[in-house]
Amino acid sequence: MACFKLPQGLCQHIDSLIRKFWWGSKDGKRKTCWVAWEEMTKPKSLGGLGFRDIELFNLALLARQGWRILKNPDTLSARVLKAVYFPGTDFLKAELGSHPSKVWRSIMEGKEVLAQGLIRRIGTGATTHAWFDNWIPRDGALRPVCSLTNDPPSHVADFIVQSTRQWNLDLLNECFTPMDVQEIKSIPISTRVQEDFWAWHYEKKGIFSVRSAYLMLINTREKREAWLENRAASSNAEEI
């Protein structure tokens, strides 16, 4: 599971074995399942039982492989993959390609998960795109909502007064929404010159963990299902 994306049917089969073991049977007959599997796979902090959804856990494990390639590009495996699949670009911009191996397909699945939780830690701001990169530390969207001007500066460094190493508040208020400005002002700017770097948003130390990636996927699923339920309820209300 840490190296390959399991087929969806296999994940569902493993989930069914876990459910059967949990609920048990009597005289060869299955007992009633009183709680939906989606509720059982929620973390205990969200009212669930903490069972792992095999498919989501598989994706979290694959995201760890992507993190290792991103943070340790000089390892032998990372250099081999780069030479074969993305020689002219970086890992986050790599594509599946025309003849991918099973391993590379799996890593690409993990990269999509990894991209959801990556965030840029701001140093000079020169290598972080203000509108396309994740760099605003908050729950929800890690990018700015929108630009208030037609031709805003493109990089975070453009919004920093380099002589004082402070945010250019006038320019922030001109280009960003008040909600974004409030969050950006809370980002500390180092007085030392250091490069921007990627970190994992869902851990305080910025280091990726399978546990936090899995919780992120569970929360994303919950939000998506809630949105679908609200949409269905709105459609029914309109029909009535």
- Region class of 212: left (phi > 0), else alpha (psi between -120 and 50), else beta: alpha
Q: How confident is the model at residue 231 (pLDDT cuts 50, 70, 90)?
A: confident
Q: What is the pLDDT of residues 16-57, one digit of tens each?
A: 888 888 877 666 666 666 777 788 888 887 778 888 999 999
Say whether 169 sits in a helix, a strand or coil.
Answer: helix
| The pLDDT value given to residue 24 | 72
Per cent of the chain over pLDDT 70 is 95
Q: Structure pTM?
A: 0.86
Ranges of beta strands (E only) in 49-179 are: 118-121, 160-161, 166-167
Listed in order, strand segments (DSSP E) in 82-227 are 118-121, 160-161, 166-167, 197-200
- Rg of the Cα atoms in the chain: 22
Q: What is the mean pLDDT of residues 116-133?
A: 95
- Tell me the pLDDT band of 1, cut-offs 50, 70 and 90: very high
pLDDT tens across 185-197, in order?
999 998 888 899 9
pLDDT digits (tens, 9 = 90+) for 53-94: 999 999 999 999 999 999 999 999 999 999 999 999 999 999
Please report the pLDDT score of residue 28 as a whole number. Answer: 61
